[in-house]
Amino acid sequence: MLKEKRKQQQSLHKRHSELAMANKQLEKLSNGIFANGELPTFSEKIKVSNQFPLRPKKLEILQINLGYMCNQVCEHCHVDAGPDRKEIMTRKTMELCLEVIRNTSAHTLDLTGGAPEMNPDFRWFVDEASKAGIQDFIVRSNLTIIRANKKYHDLPEFFKNHNVHVVSSMPHWTRGKTDKQRGEGVFDQSIKALQELNAVGYGMPDSDLRLDLVYNPSGAFLPGDQASMEKDFKKALLEDFGIHFHSLFAITNLPISRFLDYLIASENYEDYMYSLVEAYNPAAVKNVMCRNTISVSWDGYLYDCDFNQMLELKVASKIQHISEYNEAILNDRKIIISQHCYGCTAGAGSSCQGAVAD
């Protein structure tokens, strides 16, 4: 039992799990119920509503993954992040990114990871990037990093000084559900971190310092209505802990990496794929995030989204690396899709900014 628990605290890569390999995940997503015709493939589905091939709209969001290292090992993590992952963006690649940030037409810069703050050049990069005057500068913070070590304690002040928009994960307003998904003690540390962010002004009503939370289900089910969930989260966090935040983004767990591993191990894979396909919403396809986003990996390669990055599906363009970045050429690409894409088109849709259907 203990051995099993320890194993769960390691990434799939560290465990040498077959599912650490992108091609094995893609195989799983293309075989079985999708190969035998029980369920339509994603391309078949979007063909019905004349949305194939999926093409980009205007670029709005540049999402940069600063590395897969993280202080947490969440059960659902699509990055397979953890303390044992060593893939970290170098300053040299960051310099290439800065060149792009200074010239991009995107209005949003979105830094993610792992825990982006664990990159040794994180603060330098934020310093430099904030000078580019991007309208919305997001850092995806897992909250516990703020409490993990003394050297991170001043992050709320640092974020404030750079007018960073903080987006943080919070799977539930109860300890049990949060710790089950994200690890023991995560709930208490997250609450403290949120209170510290509130203390410097983040998330307070009428404050310009934006603090949004990300909810994703702790299990093999889809997220409920984003607006109702936000109401419940706000009420519970305020009543129980005096915490304020601005918006809640409800995000569907995509069947890749550790969440795929969980679905298979818990014998929920087929039912989950059925739920995603049944909840398919063509209106969500219109605004799916790969249509207005470019995702950059720690080593500078370009992807349609963070999920395709984890599946090692580089953009279908002659431009595939940040060093040769050209927005016009990139925007002329076809977006690479597979069955994991059903995760972004279920119900009200799902993206790093939450629901997408109008």
Partner 1 sequence: MASQNYYDPADLKKFGKISDWSKELGDKFFEYYGKVFEEGALTAREKSLIALAVAHTEMCPYCIDAYSQDGLQRGITKEEMMEAVHVGAAIKSGATLVHGVMMMNKVNKLEM
Find the binding residues for partner 1 in span 189-248 (CB under 8 A).
215, 217, 219, 221-225, 228-229, 232-233
Q: Given the rule CB under 8 A, which of 52-60, 61-69, 172-180, 326-334 is the region that contacts partner 1?
A: 172-180
Amino acid present at 89: M
Bridge partners of residue 168, in order along the sequence: 141, 213
- For partner 1, the binding residue among 24, 240, 274, 326 (CB under 8 A) is 274
Q: Say whether 29 sits in a helix, a strand or coil.
A: helix
Q: For residues 56 and 217, which CB has a smaller minimum distance to partner 1 in the complex?
A: 217
- Is 235 exposed, middle or buried, given 0-12, 13-18 or 19+ CB atoms closer than 10 A? exposed
Per-residue contact string for residues 278-317; x = within reach of partner 1 by CB under 8 A? x---------------------------------------
Q: Given the rule CB under 8 A, which of 7-15, 91-99, 169-177, 321-329 is the region that contacts partner 1?
A: 169-177
Minimum distance from CB of 228 to partner 1 (Å)?
7
Is the four-CA dihedral 145, 147, 148, 149 of positive or negative sign?
A: positive
Minimum distance from CB of 234 to partner 1 (Å)?
12
Minimum distance from CB of 274 to partner 1 (Å)?
7
Name the DSSP class of 351.
B
Minimum distance from CB of 232 to partner 1 (Å)?
6
Name the DSSP class of 74.
-
Minimum distance from CB of 218 to partner 1 (Å)?
9
Q: Say whether 48 sits in a helix, a strand or coil.
A: helix
Name the DSSP class of 335.
P
Distant-in-sequence, close-in-space partners of 16: CB < 8 Å, separation ≥ 6: none
Minimum distance from CB of 347 to partner 1 (Å)?
9
Reference 157, options 89, 115, 209, 113; nearest CA is 209
Stretch (H or E) spanning 182 = helix 175-182
Minimum distance from CB of 251 to partner 1 (Å)?
13
b (16+ CB within 10 A) / e for 186-203:
bbebbbebbebbbebebb
- For partner 1, the binding residue among 177, 192, 314, 321 (CB under 8 A) is 177
Q: For residues 49 and 174, which CB has a smaller minimum distance to partner 1 in the complex?
A: 174
Count residues contacting partner 1 (CB under 8 A)?
A: 19
- For partner 1, the binding residue among 31, 149, 174, 326 (CB under 8 A) is 174
Q: How far is residue 203 CA from its own chain's centroid? A: 20
The CB-side HSE value for 20 (13 A sphere, CA atoms) comes to: 12
CA distance 217 to 221: 7
Amino acid present at 180: K
- For partner 1, the binding residue among 45, 165, 172, 291 (CB under 8 A) is 172
Would you count residue 114 as binding partner 1 (CB under 8 A)? no
Minimum distance from CB of 30 to partner 1 (Å)?
22
Q: For residues 209 and 356, which CB has a smaller minimum distance to partner 1 in the complex?
A: 356
Output helix, strand, coil percentages for the chain, rounded to the nearest 5: 40, 15, 45
Q: For residues 250 and 356, which CB has a smaller minimum distance to partner 1 in the complex?
A: 250
Minimum distance from CB of 229 to partner 1 (Å)?
6
Per-residue contact string for residues 128-167; x = within reach of partner 1 by CB under 8 A? ----------------------------------------
Stretch (H or E) spanning 168 = strand 165-169
Q: What angle do CA 124, 106, 22 make, to 5 degrees?
A: 75
Residues that bind partner 1 (CB under 8 A): 172-174, 176-177, 215, 217, 219, 221-225, 228-229, 232-233, 274, 278
